[in-house]
Each structure stands twice: as structure tokens, then as C-alpha cells.
Structure 1
């Protein structure tokens, strides 16, 4: 590395300028990686609004399909999700009916606030959650003693909910989601209607793909920072942003030099995050020593990526490069704890999965689930459900015949054309495009964790 030249103890002008040319891009790349979850959150909010949703008033309801572009969304359960604006509402109530709901609230910085439904405080019983906006530091309002009270550091939050379609009854799951209510506490006696927008047949994009490798990334990030109160936890990194010209109350107006630096940092930062996601060197990513399956979430202790004494920035990068929202319930490695996620991106020989080849995945039966299981295929470039002529990206035990009677295993196939012995258990892939899969188990049993049950690796068939 080039050294700074000093004369009489002071940096020489040309050498100091060269030092800034090295340090500014370095700062920008680190800022990009740290704030990527924020821009991803803004993309979710932007995408739901583009689909017709209005904060506090309506939200899309969808069973994700390939025409719904969203980081590792799945077709296993219907989703209901949208923005809540606490500046507009003041203290806001989320009222959940009893039933198999699973959800959470994250703030504008994509930080977990509270779990809802089955993983939440009240489990399947339903109940009311009260969101308090910034500035509500005292006691909760009178009359809310039975509410679960949650304080947000940001005005804007996201509520994301799923309903488990037990027995394959999607209509019942949709009705359950449609019965969730959102209303200002001040209007509790006469709450306004909340509209559910059926988005099943309509495209929707909730990703930052259009922004993540260019200057627009920083414009979006500036808009969020400018709209929200300062958060003490983020002060050091917000200071880093300020050095790059991104600061609340200050226009984002980079000169030509800074535009080049920020654009280059967006490309480099995006690439480095994808390396964390798909080429990690972490030994703790491997689920079993004799398989190539990996854990998607590397911090099972919590939903905040904290470890003893520090923030696990690599685990955080890896998660948000390929997924959205986080909570303790999503990462627990315990029997019956929500859902379990494994990542498959290589075949049995350690080679990345290629859409031009055919693979077999052998799954021992029975799968150790108390609810159901699925395998979903994603395009490596979009981190969204694969788009192929077949129009299907998932095989799901709730809806597809995946467990033949009397068999001790089931074979699933992935490739450009269905094999003769595919039996309909096939997902079409696209030549020239890499892909990866998530194996999900809902209500995992102990065998899913102790190694006494494990799926095979993807085996090349051609």
C-alpha cells in the first residue's frame, strides 16, 4: 500500500489527496454493506406501495409465485405485509385473531421489534400489540395494560405476516390473514377498515435489485436517514455516512468525484455481499460434515446477529444478501421452533448448481416435521423464485404428492426437462442461469437437528 508522504510532520498535499482517494472508497464499501438491510427494507415498502398498498390502510396478500420478485419468498404460505406509518397514526394497534399466524414487525432500519402469532408472546391465542412511535419514552397509555407494548426508534415500520395453511386449506389461511386489524389507538372505539389487496395474479417487485449496484442506492439510503430520527445504536455508522455526504437535514448532492466513488462502492459492496452469501469461508455454515447443505442463518441465538461481545457482520451480510426480515424465531435450532432453513447451492461434488443440468435430490422419509416441508428453487442472480416456462418454483408436501406410500425415500428432480421417471416431482431450471434451493421444515422435530435424519445432496444426473 502506498504510504502517505510527510514533510516536517505534515502530509504533502498530493499525498494527502491520494490518501483520501483510498480511504473514501473504503469507507463507502463498509457503509454500503452495513446499510444494505435499510435499502432492502425501503424496497419492500416501495414494492408494496407500487402494488397499491397505502400505509396503515391496506396491504397486499399473496401466495408468492415466480412473477413475485422478492428475496427468497416462498410458495408455502400466503403472505400479508405492508408499511405502517407511526408519524401519521401515533400509537398503533395490531390486533391478531387466534390461529396459526406467524409474523413480525421490523423497523425502518430492518431491525427486529417483535414476533407476532405463534412465535410471539401470546402464541396461537391472538391478542393486541401496541406500537409506540419515537418520543414515547414514558409509560404506555392508560387502558393498554393487557397489550404487548413495543417501542420503535423509527416512524416507519414493516409488519409481515403469514398464515399456515393447515391441511392445505389456503382459503382458510387467507381469511385468517384478512381478519388481522391495524388501527390507531386513538380510534380503538371505532377502528377504520383495513383493506387486503389480492396480489396473487399480479406481478410485484419488493427487491432493491434496480438500485443495489448504482448511485440510486445512496439516494434511497439518504431519503431514509433524512426521514427518521437519529438512532443511538447507529451513531458511528451514521457518522461514516456523513463523511460521504449522506446526512439528515443535508441535501444529497455528490460532486463528480464522489459520484464515481459511491457508484463503484455500490458495485463492489454488492459483489462482496454475494460472496458472503454464496462463497462463505465460515466453517459454521455447514450443517453436516458429510453433506454440502449450509445454514442460511449463522446466528441461532437471536434475530439481531449479536454474539458475545460483538455484532456478527458476516452473518448479517450473508442473510440480507439473500433474504429479508429477521427474528429470533427464524433462526432457533430447536424442536418445534417455527421453521428451519437449509441452503443448497452446490452438488455432491461441490460444484455450483447449473440450470443447464439435471439433478436428483433424495429425501429420506418420513421427513421430521410436525407440520409440513418444502423445497424452493431460486435464481442466483435475483435471489427470487426461478422463472421458467413451467411457472413453478417449489415442491411442497402440503400440496404436492411428495411422500409415496410405503417408500423410505422420495426423489425430487431439478433441470431443464423433466426426467422420464420424474413422477411430476420436478422443478424446471434455465440453462445459463445458476440456481440455489432452500429446504424448509415447518415444526422441525429433533431428528432434523441431531443428524439422525438428513437429506441427500443434489446429484448430477447428466
Structure 2
């Protein structure tokens, strides 16, 4: 079925995808956990006690840091977040609202590594800091996620990271026996497409978007997506349009993730600005700067949806830059059928550290391999630099026979793959485009 209603439903899919996908991951975290992250109730942290591996089935998860993630629900009122002194260790606590806006940052870049207290308050809260030295962080939506990452220098460093994790504390200011409201329950059972749109309808009511986005949301009222009534009660014409719009929107979004909307340099998608769709909410650590705002209304929703699908809970480029590629230097798809090299000279300019992580397609999951190596970077033990200070990385399914290539080996899956380069606390020259990552060369 095609027509105006179906086209509108396709737009609605893209608009609502971040809210639904993010909500589903919050539900995973609060019920079953995500990979090595155990389930956590609202207003508590789930701590990974190991670096991520293929058991962590989360889109584009990183293997550089250990996660501490908290689903926060301010229906209970303000909550005090206490952060320990991290010494000289890089870390970041990133705040992501229900629509996936990154609206605050704490940590090495944003607030330094000393201890601190932060009062987390709901959108409608009125008041000031409760105590000296307390910084207020206002949430755009009642529910948000704190995504914490601690730099970890291998297995022997995990105990020190765990001590820091255990020192994170979330303390409700108001004492009450009433539990957090949590995510509104959506019954399901209407089929994949209508279940998606029913989550969209229900959660958009619970978590209103930014004021500027409400016109777009209201335009979907003819599809029943702003109604107080479930889609089970919608007219058949509307239900058919939602089915068709879901299929078309899903296909378009998956294509958008593959092509990206940033500049392409040596076949790398340079996505410095993929998370710049937040243009309304700026709390501590989030830069209220035109250089980091995606203001084109025609493409902002598509960018936001692609960012959620390809890298949910990713940071702004000024915190961590993300480059990815599907293609080698000749423009051919990267695949485990071949062997490749990437020569970095000079290595990337960062204030913290950099890495390249290998992911399969189409899931963007880490890749099981005989070396149990899922990423390689400047902190990888045993890597061998070239005589001129460069670094040559080999990508292949089997371990290279040459000792140097084996030391610098990043294993690939048998099929198609997509590596991501992460650059933590990138230098300004990198943000300005003055440093380019070379193309990946096929060598067999």
C-alpha cells in the first residue's frame, strides 16, 4: 500500500525510532541486563566487571572501556549523584534523554577527575542546589540514561576500575516507599510494525519531545500516534498505512546507516557530528555551540535515527570521535575473504587514547576470534611500531604468519565487516579535519 498516509507513516517511523529503540534498551537493562551488564533497577548502576566481548550483543559496543550504566527515573523527585576522584584515569559519564539527546557530561574532559556531587532534577523541578558545591543537572525527560565509561588497561586493571565503579552513588533526596514509575507498559501482540508504533505512541505521551519537535509529532495525529487510544482501535486504513510505512522507513533507515551523512575521507565516514541533533538541552559538560548543532530540520530526524541504530548512546565528537568504513581503498566492500592493512603514520592525535574495533554485519556486534582480540589501539600490549613511528595493522580472519603482522593483528569475521575508529578526547587538529585516517588497503 502506498499513498500519503503510508508516506507519513514512513516519516513517523524515522522520527520515533530513537525513542522506541532507546526505550527497548532501557527495558533490557532493567529486566535481563545487556551482555555482561547485569540488570539494574531504576536509579541504580549496572556495572560491567569486564571489557566487552561477543557475548555483549549491543550495537557497536566498545572494547576500550568498562561500562557503568544507570537507568534514571526522576518520578521519585531529585536524586543526588556522587562521583569519586578518578585520579589520572580517563572517564566520562554521559547523560542521554529518552529521545537520545546527549544533554550533559561529567568526567575528564567536562568536569575534571576530582570527586563531585550533582543534583539530578526532573523537567518541571523548581529550586536550587541542595548543599554547597552541588551542581544541578536538569533532565529533559523524566527518564534518562547515564552511560559511564572507564578507561581500563587490560584484565589486571579491572580491580582498580571496580573500586571506582562501586564509589558511584545515586541517592534519592525524598524518602518514599513509592517505587519509580518506570517505562509505561505496552502490551504488544499487534505484530512487529504496529507494536513498534504502539510503543512510539505510548512513550511519546510519557516523554514529550523538545518543544520544537512537537509540531512534527502532532503531524502524525492522523495515524493515531498522539491519541489516548491504542492502535488496536485504529481504522483499518490507518493500520495498513502504518504497516507499509514501517517497512519503507526501516529500509530507508538501514540504508542511511550504511551511507552516513558526514564527509567521506579515504572511504572512512568521518562522523564528527552524527550526535549533534540535540539543539535544545545543554547542561554541564554539553557544549552549547553552533559548531556542534545540527539545525537542518529536514535531515536532523534522519541523522538522529541513524545514530541510534548505528551507535546508540554514542558521544558527541568533542568527547569521542567515531570514524567507520565499509570499503577498502579501491571502494570494494570489506570482507573476511581478503586480507587488509591499515598504516597509520602519524598515529591519531588524541588527548586520551584511540582504538579500532571490529564489528560484523548487519548487527554491528563484536567478532568471536581465536585471539580474543576485538580491538587494537595505542594501549594494546605487544603491538610493534614501524621504524618511522607509524603503525601497520593487519585485518584478516586468520592469524598472520609474520611476527610483526601477528602482533598488530585485528581479526575479522568470515563475512562482511565494519571497523570503527574511536578517538577519545580528540585534539583540535583532528576536529578541524587536519588529520586524515588513510584508506584500508587490500593486500592479497
TM-score by length of 1: 0.78
**SS of residue in 1 equivalent to 2:335:** coil
Q: Quick check: 1:428 aligned with 2:407?
A: no
Deviations along 1:150-177, whole A, 9 cap, x unmatched?
2224221111111123698333223212
Aligned residues: 404
Structure 2 partner of 1:8: none
1:180 deviation in Å? Answer: 0.8
Specify which of 375, 380, 405 is matched with residue 399 of structure 1: 380
Structure 2 partner of 1:31: 12
Q: Distance in 2 between matches of 1:306 and 1:452?
A: 21
Structure 1 partner of 2:217: 238
Specify which of 204, 207, 217 is matched with residue 225 of structure 1: 204
**SS of residue in 1 equivalent to 2:342:** strand
Structure 2 partner of 1:56: 43
Q: Distance in 1 between matches of 2:237 and 2:297?
A: 34
Deviations along 1:272-302, whole A, 9 cap, x unmatched?
122222224x5x5124xxx222212336877
**SS of residue in 2 equivalent to 1:169:** helix
The question of whether the paired residues in 1 share the 8 Å contact of 2:329 and 2:441 is answered with yes
Q: Distance in 1 between matches of 2:191 and 2:334?
A: 24
1:80 deviation in Å? Answer: 0.8
**SS of residue in 2 equivalent to 1:411:** strand
Cα distance, 1:262–1:450 mapped onto 2, change above 3 Å: closer
The question of whether the paired residues in 1 share the 8 Å contact of 2:95 and 2:145 is answered with yes
**SS of residue in 2 equivalent to 1:322:** helix
Structure 1 partner of 2:289: none
Structure with the greater alpha carbon radius of gyration: 1
Deviations along 1:216-237, whole A, 9 cap, x unmatched?
3223223312433575333213
For structure 2, the 5+ residue unaligned runs are 34-38, 177-189, 280-291
The question of whether the paired residues in 2 share the 8 Å contact of 1:48 and 1:60 is answered with no
Q: Quick check: 1:270 aligned with 2:260?
A: no
For structure 1, the 5+ residue unaligned runs are 1-17, 189-210, 333-337
Specify which of 368, 371, 376 is matched with residue 352 of structure 2: 371
Specify which of 91, 112, 117 is matched with residue 128 of structure 1: 117
The question of whether the paired residues in 1 share the 8 Å contact of 2:334 and 2:417 is answered with yes
The question of whether the paired residues in 1 share the 8 Å contact of 2:52 and 2:66 is answered with yes
**SS of residue in 2 equivalent to 1:266:** helix
Q: Quick check: 1:286 aligned with 2:264?
A: yes
Cα distance, 1:115–1:439 mapped onto 2, change above 3 Å: same
Specify which of 52, 55, 76 is matched with residue 67 of structure 1: 55
The question of whether the paired residues in 1 share the 8 Å contact of 2:354 and 2:422 is answered with yes
Specify which of 370, 379, 389 is matched with residue 408 of structure 1: 389
Q: Distance in 2 between matches of 1:354 and 1:216?
A: 35
Cα distance, 1:241–1:64 mapped onto 2, change above 3 Å: farther
The question of whether the paired residues in 2 share the 8 Å contact of 1:355 and 1:434 is answered with yes
The question of whether the paired residues in 2 share the 8 Å contact of 1:353 and 1:436 is answered with yes
1:423 deviation in Å? Answer: 1.6
| Structure 1 runs (4+) greater than 6 angstroms displaced | none
Cα distance, 1:342–1:129 mapped onto 2, change above 3 Å: same
- Computed over aligned residues only, the root mean square deviation of the Cα atoms, in angstroms, reads 3.0
Specify which of 11, 25, 30 is matched with residue 44 of structure 1: 25
1:74 deviation in Å? Answer: 0.7
1:444 deviation in Å? Answer: 3.1
Q: Quick check: 1:380 aligned with 2:358?
A: no
Q: Distance in 1 between matches of 2:93 and 2:65?
A: 12
The question of whether the paired residues in 2 share the 8 Å contact of 1:79 and 1:161 is answered with yes
**SS of residue in 1 equivalent to 2:406:** coil
